[in-house]
Amino acid sequence: MNDTLHKIISMDDEAIRDIVDRKKRLVVCYGHFNVIHPGHMRYLKYARSLGDSLIIAVLDDVGLGRDAANYFPENERAEGVSLLHIVDNVVILENGNLDNFIETIKPRVLVLGSEHEDERDSKIESAISLLKEQKGKVVFHAGETRYANADLLYSGIDDLEIEKISLFKKVCSSQNIKLNTLENRLDKISNANLLVVGDTIVDQYVACDAMGMSAEAPVLVVRELESREFVGGAAIVASHIKALGAKCHFLSVVGDDLHASHVENELNKQDVCTYLIADGSRPTTYKIRYMVDNQKLFRVSQLKEHKLSARVENIVIEKIYELAPSIDGILVSDFVYGVITDKILDVIREVSSKYNLKTFGDVQCSSQTGKVTKFKDFDLIFPTEKEARLGMDNNVDGVEWIANSLMQEIDSNELLITLGAEGFIAYSKQSDGFMNRQHYPAMTVNPVDVAGAGDSMFAAISACISSGANLMEASAIGACMASLAVREVGNQPISATKLKDYLARICV
């Protein structure tokens, strides 16, 4: 800790002269750095690659002006960023004076987020002009966009999991979330009555024995051992909600086939109120995954993606109208196989406004084409970073800029962006305009099957918010839910009891 604190220096410190005298290529990053999340890490790693020494200029409390009350104190923000091994020094700017700092240390490069290229305040504009006079360079960059990480190259699984759980505890502490609070939130889920609308999927997992390469052609040869079917898609979202204790209705369109009967039987066993509308023009979506041990080889999908006929669409709409007066919220789980039409979304917005229902949206764009911006006026949506970037047609700016732009586009005060192995970031705009943002880590480092992580988290967070939790409390529960979901092959409903046991285990 002492070494970390030595990184933090002030403008009148002798160490400032030492920095200048090192004759190294100095790179400066500037900001408030209230909460460090993966978006910041990408930005800082990119900046570090441009020189020999990375100096972070942190806005002091005075420089934040009226917003200072919404941020951690300057010393805590400086200490947080100084903990990063890629950071060489941190300087707290007096009165937010970036000009004076640039003039003193004469950096080789000033790296600013991409968003500052088109919009920047007078302080930044003045500092840029000064740096150019000193023959320095200004770079606007958000860091490399990535959808996976390389942590396992540097640490063992056990060490990484301990680190992630420790980070989760710090997150809960910073948001003033206690274990008994989360347990109480889970207990209150039983008060919620929710409707899930979306695409039904049946997932088959086929366990195989690898026999080698074919002698006739470069084809992998496997022998089928056993297979098992799981309820998937929007149906597993309904299963999770029911397992957590809420009352759940499930509305979907399926084929007139045995797979639909399997889904109905499974959901009935779980006491999910199920309304499956048979459509002879399409099969129930069926996905087969072939695996050797826990390694997936490939997936085969049997599906049709055409939109619903007017007759079937009207049946779905009539059921939504019928259920709306008795429920608390609607979850739309859209895998873009044709069930969620524009007209159905309009009806969901209509009834949610009339009956004051919470609305939650999740669209799957990994292997299909869909846009998260279709969920305009929803209370909360759950895009992956890739889906958010596709929705905003922006693969350049940082995660923060994407998040803020997307919230404005869909007219929502809350948003959750998932980052795969890096966890997710929850954004909540407060009544005073301040944006409360928090990164939640993915605590299972070496998952067995990530296919259902998003669905489990979608279910848990939506159920918690519908029963009175705020976004940050619900997100803590959602992070634990996803951690449990990826530890098993296939989609399996996670109960409130199992979730409580996990929370108690990691929060000791």
Q: What is the pLDDT of residues 257-312, one digit of tens each?
A: 999 999 999 999 999 999 999 999 999 999 999 999 878 888 998 888 888 999 99
Long-range contacts of residues 398-403, Cβ cutoff 8 Å, at least 24 apart = 398/39, 398/42, 398/43, 398/113, 398/114, 398/115, 398/142, 398/143, 399/37, 399/38, 399/39, 399/42, 399/142, 399/425, 400/39, 400/113, 400/115, 400/437, 401/113, 401/114, 401/115, 401/142, 403/427, 403/437
The structure tokens 């943002």 sit at: 437
The yes-or-no verdict on residue 1 having pLDDT over 50 is: no
Q: Which residue has the higher pLDDT, 157 or 163?
A: 163
Contact 181, 464 (CB under 8 A): no
pLDDT at 143 over 70: no
Q: Report yes or no: 195 and 329 within 8 Å, Cβ to Cβ.
A: yes
Question: Which residue has 């087969």 as its token pair?
Answer: 288
Window from 164-168, 204-208, 365-369 with minimum mean pLDDT: 365-369
Examine domains 2-140 and 151-506 and report if their fold is the same.
no
Lowest mean pLDDT among 154-163, 307-316, 463-472: 154-163
Q: For the chain, what is the mean pLDDT?
A: 88
* Residue 35 DSSP label: S
Q: Which residue has the higher pLDDT, 97 or 196?
A: 196
- Range name among 66-75, 90-99, 242-251, 499-508 with the lowest pLDDT average: 66-75
Q: Bigger pLDDT: 296 or 177?
A: 177
Quote the pLDDT of residue 121: 67
* For the chain, domain boundaries: 2-140, 151-506
The three-state secondary structure class of 224 is strand
The yes-or-no verdict on residue 159 having pLDDT over 50 is yes
Of 20-24, 220-224, 244-248, 491-495, which gets the smallest average pLDDT? 20-24
2-140: CATH topology is Rossmann fold (3.40.50)
Residue 131, φ and ψ in degrees, nearest 5: -65, -40
Q: Give the pairing type, strands 295-302 and 285-292.
A: antiparallel
* Tens-digit pLDDT profile for residues 210-232: 988 888 888 889 999 999 999 99
151-506: CATH number: 3.40.1190.20
pLDDT of 470 > 60? The answer is yes
* Statement: residue 172 has pLDDT above 60: yes
Residues of the chain with pLDDT > 70: what percent?
93
Q: pLDDT at position 145, please?
A: 55
| pLDDT score of 152 | 43
What is the number of other CB atoms lying within 10 angstroms of the CB of residue 37?
20
Q: What is the mean pLDDT of residues 103-126?
A: 78
